[in-house]
Structures are given as C-alpha cells and as structure tokens.
Amino acid sequence: METLIKPPIEWAVAEVAQRGQSESGDRYVALSTPEGGLVAVVDGLGHGAEAASAAKVAVRALERGAHRPLVQLLRDCHQSLIGTRGAVISAAALAFETMTWLGVGNVEGLLLRAPASRGARTESLLVRGGVVGVHLPALAAEVVPIRRGDTLILATDGVHSGFLDATLPYQEPQALADHVLARWGTHTDDALVLAVRYLGAA
C-alpha cells in the first residue's frame, strides 16, 4: 500500500491586475521538492503583455531548476530573461527547519513567526537592487531557522511595504494573503501576495 506523504508547505495567493490591463505581469511559483519546497514571486517590468511574457519566462526557469541552489537558480533565470524586459524576483527554498531566501528588486518578503515560536522575531528579506535579465547584482542568499507554523509572505510592488512593519494576524494562508492585499494593495499596479506556511518539523 502506497503511503502518501504530506507536502511540507501549504500556500495561497491573492492577486489583481492593474485596472485596464487584461493580463498581470506578476506571477508566482510554489512547489514541493525532495528537500522541502521552492517558492518565488516574479514581477515582470512594466505592465501588460510584455511584462507577463517576461514573468512567464522566469517562472519556467524557476520550475525547471527547482532542485538547484538559489544563487545558481537566479543566475539561470538571468540568462533566460536576457532579451526580455526583465523581472524582479524574490525566492525561498524551505527545507528541514531552515529557509534560504534571496531577492533581486522590489519583491518584499516577511517571515511571520508562529505563535508557538516564543521570542522569535519577525524577519524581513534583504533585497538587492537590480533587474534579473538586465542587471544582476552580486548574489548572496541568507539562511534563517524556521519552525512548524512559520509563514512567509512575498509581495510585489503593487502592495505597499507598510505590511512589513504591521502587526499581522496569524491566519490561514489564504486569509492572510487576502488581508495583506486588501489592506496594503496600491490599486495603481499589478499586485500579488503569496503566503506560504511551513508544515515541517515541530
């Protein structure tokens, strides 16, 4: 009898295209890997079809190289995006009680600790200036400890960065993503919020 193994992460997304645009330039990746999971948010530069096209190229590169270390994965994305408008990307690899994360451009990241993680502080992603596919900065991934129930929030620049300093409710991923988009969405740009909860070791 086959044993079904529950993925170590669960996720939800809230998104909206800029008014007047039929397609959003914001995309996300969320998938389970043998080590844990890979998640990322991609914002193609500009708006409309060309931004969406660049974002789709980045998503395909991320999915194709999901097994690779984050720094190499972003370099691979850079090569794939040359000749497009480019994109800003923040990504995280979640494994046993650790998360490695890395950001290029203005996709903000926040690690919201579970209520059981007493004394553990909320952490923000340090993003580096640049555009993947156009100008890639020097890359250095950061590794942080995580515990069961910790939640990562990634949001594009269509979401005001005020959420980084707010006291956010501890909710299920979909409710949390919806809350951040409703409260901090700018309504002047494509916007996407990805909420990822770690379900691994207690």
Cα–Cα distance measured from residue 74 to residue 77, given in angstroms and rounded to the nearest whole number: 5
Query: Quick check: is 1 in a domain?
Result: no
Query: Quick check: is 110 in a domain?
Result: yes
What residue spans of 121-192 are helical by DSSP H? 173-184
pTM, rounded to two decimals: 0.92
Cα–Cα distance measured from residue 11 to residue 3, given in angstroms and rounded to the nearest whole number: 22
Q: What pLDDT does 96 receive?
A: 84
Q: How large is the average pLDDT for residues 164-186?
A: 94
Query: Quick check: is 2 in a domain?
Result: no
List Cα–Cα distances, 118 to 115, 139, 161, in angstroms: 7, 32, 25
pLDDT exceeding 90 applies to what percent of the chain?
Answer: 73
Cα–Cα distance measured from residue 56 to residue 144, given in angstroms and rounded to the nearest whole number: 29
Q: What pLDDT does 35 receive?
A: 79
- Domain range enclosing 49: 9-198
Query: Quick check: is 4 in a domain?
Result: no
Give the model confidence (pLDDT) of 89-111 as tens digits: 999 999 888 999 999 999 999 99
CATH number at residue 98: 3.60.40.10
Query: Quick check: is 3 in a domain?
Result: no
Query: Quick check: is 24 in a domain?
Result: yes
Cα–Cα distance measured from residue 186 to residue 35, given in angstroms and rounded to the nearest whole number: 36
The SS3 call for residue 85 is coil
Confidence of residue 119 (pLDDT cuts 50, 70, 90): low
The SS3 call for residue 153 is strand
Confidence of residue 201 (pLDDT cuts 50, 70, 90): low
The total of structural domains in the chain comes to 1
Task: Examine the pLDDT at 54 and tell me if it is beyond 90.
Answer: yes
Give the model confidence (pLDDT) of 122-154 as tens digits: 889 988 999 999 999 999 999 999 999 999 999
Query: Quick check: is 99 in a domain?
Result: yes
Q: What pLDDT does 19 receive?
A: 79
